[in-house]
């Protein structure tokens, strides 16, 4: 059994005007991919790899490329990585299957639907009879081009996402089982005309907890191999931004279609029930609530400028307010500002630095914030993506600054940078929902509905291309799931 594998993923925020460049993907090609897959990380491609290894498959590695969410992917970056993937597939000759991990919300300059484009090309190379199975992020936009090119899609069932490995594992298991037992994977999808942010759809909370349970029950039905709900990506202003219910069947297109219709119908019953499940306030109010809390560490997610959903991660408006209002021991970060990191590195720990940090708003001509502080730490931040970082202490607030954009995934990253969490009462994090490791150290979590490219108030965003009607931009939509079956 010869199987092509690869992973090329990005969540592209079309409101962020800064395009993603090739080096931000840290791409690996060919045999180098296998070296990474020997590591103990638990990515989707690791899950795919484990299944194929256990099945004794001959594995043909193509690419492994992923970047922090950000703006639209540059044409050059996309063409380079996808070009390598396609060249490897073309050179591989006859193969039995293809198993990829893609995000599902990658948008490319001039192209748009990255996954549809890539899968169309892969299908053209391998021919109509080779099964293609794909694992996707929960925030995927499943398009007709994707559905027509691949045989099976499976998505994450957790938000925050902690089942990437398992989802890759499922996709590869679908592929291997179908090859070994000689049946076809057939998939149907029904689109859902709505936008919902991750912060309103955490899978441990209502209504997603119920809907995930529905998927688990669906998987038990005879002839159904996998079912998924995809939520789309609210900060992609593209004409195919829709959620979906997707069902993979054992060679039964009609069963797949009927089941996808039923799943879409079930989802729609709850479409008005998605709410913030964490207390959510304007930033000023969130800070005031945090300052009144006496029970330990409070984490405030500055969720309008969340790098985890493609924010620019350099909006310092919350820091400006903190400097005026904070009375407790506070941390703010990370701010993406390579020049400020360099200034801190040059001054060294203990040195005094004056910088103009970040931007006060997303306006292209927005000024930054002039600050003078003492350098507290310089070093590296992060494990999956490592970046140079510095901590600048300004009027009692520790400000984390990074050379590359960096998601706040794990407080241990701060400890490794030389900070002590016991020194803080309040962490203001460039984040959406708190990742589980921050959840574990916080006695209280708050969402601050800040302005930025990941603004949670969708009606305030200037959508021009999304399909209409679309909830919550449009209310009282007549939803007939059969009419939304992707043909
Ligand atoms: Zn996601």
Residues recorded for the chain: 487
Distance 309 CA to ligand 1 centre (A): 8
Q: Check residue 297 and give its pLDDT.
A: 97
Same domain assignment for residues 320 and 173: no
| Three-state DSSP state, 84 | helix
Same domain assignment for residues 253 and 356: no
Highest mean pLDDT among 33-47, 215-229, 447-461: 215-229
What is the spatial distance between Cα 12 and Cα 372, in angstroms, rounded to a whole number?
34
Q: Check residue 382 and give its pLDDT.
A: 87
What is the spatial distance between Cα 414 and Cα 368, in angstroms, rounded to a whole number?
24
Residue 144, pLDDT > 80, answer yes
The answer as to whether 469 is a domain residue is no
CB-based contacts of 296, cutoff 8 Å, min separation 6: 442, 443, 444
The total of structural domains in the chain comes to 2
Same domain assignment for residues 383 and 415: yes
On whether the CB atoms of residues 94 and 87 are closer than 8 A, the answer is: no
Domain boundary among 268, 291, 308: 268
Distance 361 CA to ligand 1 centre (A): 25
As to burial, measured by CB atoms within 10 angstroms (0-12 exposed, 13-18 middle, 19+ buried), residue 437 is middle
Scan for tokens 């063409």, then name that residue. 79
What is the spatial distance between Cα 193 and Cα 285, in angstroms, rounded to a whole number?
33
Same domain assignment for residues 184 and 290: no
Q: Percent of the chain at pLDDT above 70? A: 100
Same domain assignment for residues 264 and 291: no
The answer as to whether 285 is a domain residue is yes
Burial state string for 327-361 with b = 16 or more CB within 10 A and e = fewer than 16 = ebebbbbbbbbeebbebbbebeeeeebebebbbbe
- Provide the token pair at 50: 């484990």
Same domain assignment for residues 237 and 331: no
Distance 397 CA to ligand 1 centre (A): 31
* DSSP track, 249-314: EES-HHHHHHHHHHHHHHHHTTTT----SS-EE-HHHHHHHHHH--SS-EEEEEGGG-GGGT--S-
CA atoms 401, 406, 409, 410: torsion sign: negative
Residue 40, pLDDT > 90, answer no
Give the DSSP H/E element, type plus range, for residue 136: strand 132-136
| Three-state DSSP state, 439 | helix
Which of these, 201, 392, 393, 438, lies nearest to 298 by C-alpha position? 438
Distance 134 CA to ligand 1 centre (A): 15
Same domain assignment for residues 238 and 328: no
Q: Check residue 288 and give its pLDDT.
A: 98
Tell me which residue range forms the domain holding 401.
280-455
Same domain assignment for residues 232 and 285: no
Same domain assignment for residues 380 and 309: yes
The answer as to whether 463 is a domain residue is no
Distance 138 CA to ligand 1 centre (A): 5
Same domain assignment for residues 320 and 400: yes
Distance 87 CA to ligand 1 centre (A): 29
Q: Which residue did the predictor score with more confidence, 277 or 484?
A: 484
Distance 91 CA to ligand 1 centre (A): 32
The answer as to whether 372 is a domain residue is yes
Phi, psi of 471 (to 5 degrees): -80, 140
Same domain assignment for residues 326 and 451: yes
What is the spatial distance between Cα 288 and Cα 279, in angstroms, rounded to a whole number?
13
Domain boundary among 225, 248, 268: 268
Residue 384, pLDDT > 90, answer no
Distance 161 CA to ligand 1 centre (A): 7
The answer as to whether 480 is a domain residue is no
The answer as to whether 460 is a domain residue is no
The answer as to whether 71 is a domain residue is yes
Phi, psi of 231 (to 5 degrees): -105, 0
pLDDT tens digits along 234-261: 999 999 999 999 999 999 999 999 999 9
How many Cα atoms sit within 13 Å of 230 on the Cβ side? 30
Q: Check residue 383 and give its pLDDT.
A: 77
On whether the CB atoms of residues 115 and 103 are closer than 8 A, the answer is: yes
Distance 198 CA to ligand 1 centre (A): 7
133: domain CATH number is 3.40.50.2300
Distance 156 CA to ligand 1 centre (A): 8
Give the DSSP H/E element, type plus range, for residue 80: helix 75-92
Distance 402 CA to ligand 1 centre (A): 23
Distance 228 CA to ligand 1 centre (A): 13
Q: Check residue 386 and give its pLDDT.
A: 86
Distance 311 CA to ligand 1 centre (A): 14
Same domain assignment for residues 284 and 263: no
pLDDT tens digits along 294-304: 989 999 999 99
CB-based contacts of 268, cutoff 8 Å, min separation 6: 192, 479, 481
Domain boundary among 245, 268, 291: 268
pLDDT tens digits along 420-441: 999 999 999 999 999 999 999 9
What is the spatial distance between Cα 417 and Cα 380, in angstroms, rounded to a whole number?
6
The answer as to whether 473 is a domain residue is no
Q: What's the alpha-carbon Rg for the chain, to the nearest Å?
A: 23
Distance 47 CA to ligand 1 centre (A): 17
Distance 390 CA to ligand 1 centre (A): 28
Q: What is the mean pLDDT of residues 407-432?
A: 96
Distance 123 CA to ligand 1 centre (A): 25
């Amino acid at each position: 059994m010869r199987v092509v594998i690869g992973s090329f993923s990005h969540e592209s925020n079309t409101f962020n005007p800064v395009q993603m460049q090739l080096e931000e993907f840290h791409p690996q090609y060919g045999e180098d991919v296998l070296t990474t897959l020997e590591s103990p990380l638990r990515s989707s491609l690791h899950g795919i790899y484990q299944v194929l290894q256990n099945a004794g498959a001959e594995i043909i590695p193509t690419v492994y490329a992923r970047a922090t969410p950000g703006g639209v992917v540059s044409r050059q970056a996309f063409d380079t990585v996808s070009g390598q993937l396609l060249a490897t597939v073309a050179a591989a000759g006859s193969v039995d299957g293809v198993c990829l991990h893609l995000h599902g919300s990658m948008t490319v300059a001039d192209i748009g639907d990255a996954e549809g484009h890539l899968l169309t090309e892969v299908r053209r190379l391998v021919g109509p009879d080779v099964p293609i199975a794909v694992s996707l992020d929960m925030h995927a936009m499943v398009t007709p081009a994707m559905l027509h090119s691949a045989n099976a899609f499976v998505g994450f069932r957790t938000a925050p996402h902690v089942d990437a490995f398992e989802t890759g594992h499922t996709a590869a298991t679908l592929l291997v089982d179908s090859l070994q037992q000689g049946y076809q994977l057939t998939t149907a999808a029904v689109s859902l005309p709505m936008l919902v942010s991750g912060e309103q759809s955490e899978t441990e909370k209502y209504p997603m907890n119920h809907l995930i349970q529905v998927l688990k029950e669906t998987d038990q039905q005879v002839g159904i191999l996998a079912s998924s709900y995809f939520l789309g990506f609210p900060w992609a202003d593209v004409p195919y931004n829709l959620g979906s219910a997707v069902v993979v069947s054992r060679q039964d297109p009609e069963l797949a279609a009927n089941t996808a219709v039923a799943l879409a119908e079930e989802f729609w019953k709850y479409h008005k029930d998605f709410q913030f499940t964490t207390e959510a306030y304007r930033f000023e109010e969130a800070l005031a609530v945090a300052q009144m809390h006496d029970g330990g560490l409070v984490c405030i997610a500055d969720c309008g400028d969340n790098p985890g959903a493609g924010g620019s991660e350099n909006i310092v408006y919350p820091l400006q307010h903190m400097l005026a209002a904070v009375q407790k021991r506070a941390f703010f970060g990370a701010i993406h500002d390579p020049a400020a990191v360099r200034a801190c590195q040059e001054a060294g720990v203990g040195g005094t630095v004056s910088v103009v940090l970040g931007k006060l708003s997303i306006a292209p001509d927005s000024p930054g914030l002039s600050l003078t502080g003492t350098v507290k730490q310089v070093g590296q931040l992060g494990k999956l993506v490592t970046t140079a970082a510095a901590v600048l202490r300004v009027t009692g607030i520790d400000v984390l600054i990074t050379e590359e954009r960096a998601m706040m995934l794990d407080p241990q990253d701060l400890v490794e940078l030389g900070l002590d969490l016991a020194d803080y009462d309040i962490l203001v994090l460039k984040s959406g929902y708190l990742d589980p490791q921050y959840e574990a150290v916080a006695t209280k979590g708050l969402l601050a509905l800040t302005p930025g490219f990941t603004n949670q108030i969708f009606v305030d965003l200037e959508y021009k291309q999304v399909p209409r009607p679309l909830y919550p931009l449009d209310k009282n939509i007549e939803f007939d799931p059969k009419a939304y079956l992707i043909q």
